[in-house]
Structure 1
Amino acid sequence: MKQLALSLRDGRMLSISMFGDPDGTPVLYAHGVGSSRLEAAIGEEAAASSSLRIISVDRPGYGLSTPDPHGTFLQFSKDIDEVMNHFEIQRCSLIGVGCGGPYAATSTSLLKGRISELHLVGSLGPTEDPELFRLLDTSLKAPLQTIQEAPELLRTRWEQMNMEDKIFQTEFEQLSKEEQQYVTPFILDKWRFAVQESAHSAEGFLRDLQTLMTPWAYHLENIDTPAYIWAGEEDEIIPLRHAVYLANHIARSTLETFPGMGHIATEVLGINTALQQISKNRALS
């Protein structure tokens, strides 16, 4: 893993980690809510074996990136634009995982021509759709509701959270035997490191929730790049209906589902499958 602190034009600092083949084809990565750039380590081996270089960015307030109290989907797309310019990337693929999906989708819409391939893994759909919002698991729906009414309560809860190893062990034990084939203790450690990297501050988490509650569905109609949507059929956190909505509103999309997979397994399997698809498409081009 290589790391970089990128100074942006507005004076903020953006923290970046790179995984896989250091000389490989670049792939941008947008992590999930409450996580960090280190989440992309889940796909490190797949990227290395496919000659891909994952460039994973901490959104403002996460990990080592400077907080931005006025952060928006538009601002994130501008940050991504600066990242691409820094690495002299004209076009590349973009993966968005979980609540990083809306950031990836809107950036694809806004950065016309710069994103060659969009991959949404276990992605959240637009929260302005009442039915999609209703279907969310309480673990995600409750903080999205609370950010509108009592953001300081969320800050207090975040600061009181204890990211002990036993929490992640419990997560592992709750997985089915089939899911544990993909979410191994080794992979779970990578997820734990990603979450703990952002545990020191609530700023990224709170800004994410505020941004995710703003309208963004209209961006989907403007995406004209090939899009792959990877979803778990047993995902209770972000149910399959979200993926179906995204597929129905992105013109050049392909929806692939994973039978028997819940949210965590979907993210692990989806990240690696997305990288394999990117490698396959590159070989065919």
Structure 2
Amino acid sequence: MTKVVCTADGRRLAVEERGKPGGDPIFLLHGTPGSRIGPSPRGSVLYRLGVRLISFDRPGYGLSDRLVGRSVATAADDVAEIADALGLDRFSVVGRSGGGPHALACAALLPERVIRVAVLVGLAPRAAEGLDWFGGMTESNVTEYTVALTGRSRFADWLAPAAREIRTDPANLIAALYAELPEVDRRMVANPRVRAMLLENYAEALRHSEDGWVDDAIAFCSPWGFDLDDIEAPTLLWHGAKDRFSPVAHSRWLAGRIRTATFKLEPDAAHFGALTVLPDVLPWLVRDARAA
């Protein structure tokens, strides 16, 4: 059931809860493009794990109001306001793909509230020193971010036709990506349950506009608004070695800059492997809370 949380600046954020009511709270930050109803473990799995999984549409996606000019850091403010509305003091955060930078923002900017943070197939900052940011990245993503670097207006015009096609039929996004997927990811998206979740997710993400997608890409290519050195919570960086959308070098770079980080590489996984590893990551995210 979708809830609406109103922020201090008057915006509406659409929030979804799954799993065990009263369980250990974990925020799941969706990918790009994505939504609050993106792929997640079955409710029965979450209940068995004792997890209360909370997701929300970032501004401009799904049912959440847009916030023009938002940075990656803005996610921390939104998560804090949602947590306040739900009566949550402390919680863990996991970000998948485009949700990864936003999860790190929460850890850096909400140190008294974030217990643990996990990033699955995430990105490093665009200005990451010593990192070939586009190295190993699939051609479609290189093109997307290259256009995003030219500015919001031009990027929005460039993205609009593709977004309209996806809005008409979300399967168009999977079809467009298919040629660039490694075989392990092709098998993943061929799974009927995974495919159905992805299609529902993309449809909801772009139901009104592509604003959220535009603002995500611009935010990734701009200063993130926080310092990785400020992350104190235990941090797990998981990556599939065959990922071509968020190359594994990004997580390696982050692991070298976050002093609390543990880096885990899965040799036989790629980008969509993040969908299947999540049930294994959730118990790690709540370990400290249960010990306390």
| Farther-moved stretch of structure 1 (54-63 vs 126-135) | 126-135
Structure 2 residue corresponding to 1:270, chosen from 251, 271, 277: 277
Distance across 2 between alignment mates of 1:240 and 1:197: 28
Q: What percentage of residue pairs aligned between the two structures are identical?
A: 22
* C-alpha displacement of 1:155: 2.4
Residues 172 and 188 in structure 1, CA contact (< 8 A), matched pair in contact too: no
Deviates more, 1:156-165 or 1:73-82: 156-165
CA separation of 1:22/1:184 partners in 2, compared to 1, >3 Å: closer, same or farther? farther
What is the identity, as a one-letter code, of the residue corresponding to 2:30?
Answer: H
Partner of 1:134: 134
The separation in 2 between residues aligned to 1:132 and 1:271, in whole angstroms, is 28
- 1:3 touches 1:17 (CA, 8 Å); kept in 2? yes
Q: Which among 211, 233, 238 is matched to residue 241 of structure 2?
A: 233
TM-score where L is the length of structure 2 = 0.87
Match of residue 196 from structure 1? 203
- State the 1:43 CA deviation: 5.8
Residue 141 of structure 1 deviates from its aligned partner by: 2.3
> Bigger CA drift: 8-17 or 126-135?
126-135
Structure 2 equivalent of residue 78 of structure 1 = 77
Task: Give 1:240 deviation, angstroms.
Answer: 1.2
CA RMSD of aligned residues (A): 2.5
> Equivalent residue for 1:36?
35
Seen in structure 2, the aligned counterparts of structure 1 residues 177 and 250 have a Cα distance that, compared at 3 Å, is closer
SS at match of 2:194: helix
The 8 Å contact of residues 19 and 40 in structure 1, kept in 2 or not, is answered as no
What is the one-letter code of the residue matched to 1:203? Answer: D
1:19 maps to a residue whose letter is: R
Q: What's the CA shift for 1:283?
A: 4.4
Q: Is 1:158 the counterpart of 2:171 in the alignment?
A: no
What SS does structure 2 have at the residue aligned with 1:156?
A: helix
Take 2:147 and 2:33, find their aligned partners in 1: how far apart are those partners?
A: 15
- Give the number of aligned pairs: 283
Distance 1:49 1:218 in 2: 35
Q: Does the Cα contact within 8 Å between 2:170 and 2:202 map onto a contact in 1?
A: no
Aligned position for 1:107? 106
Contact 2:16 2:54 in 1 (8 A): yes
* 1:148 match: 149
Q: For residues 64 and 132 of structure 1, do their structure 2 counterparts lie closer, same or farther at Cα, with a shift above 3 Å needed?
A: farther
Does the aligned pair in 2 maintain the 1:155–1:206 contact within 8 Å?
Answer: no
What secondary structure sits across from 1:125 in the alignment?
Answer: coil
Deviation at 1:115, TM superposition (A): 0.5
**3-state SS of 2:147 partner:** helix
**If each structure's helix is expressed as a fraction of its own residues, which one has the higher value?**
1
- Cα distance in structure 1, aligned partners of 2:41 and 2:139: 26
The reply on whether 1:16 has 2:24 as its aligned counterpart is no
Give the direction of change, closer, same or farther, for the CA distance of 1:138–1:115 in structure 2 (3 Å limit): same
SS where residue 73 of structure 1 aligns? coil
Task: Return the offset for 1:185.
Answer: 1.8
Deviation at 1:15, TM superposition (A): 0.3
TM-score calculated relative to the size of structure 1: 0.89
**Structure 1 residues 169 and 273: alpha-carbon distance in aligned structure 2, compared to 1, 3 A threshold:** farther
Q: How far did residue 72 of structure 1 move?
A: 1.7
**Structure 2 counterpart of 1:202, which letter?**
E
Whole-angstrom CA distance in 1 between matches of 2:50 and 2:238:
22
Amino acid at match of 2:205: S
Deviations 1:9-52 (A, max 9, x none): 11110001111112311101111111111115346443222010
Aligned-partner Cα distance in 2 for 1:97–1:37: 12
Aligned pair in 2 of structure 1 residues 277, 45: CA closer, same or farther (>3 Å)? farther
Q: Residue 121 of structure 1 corresponds to which residue in structure 2?
A: 120
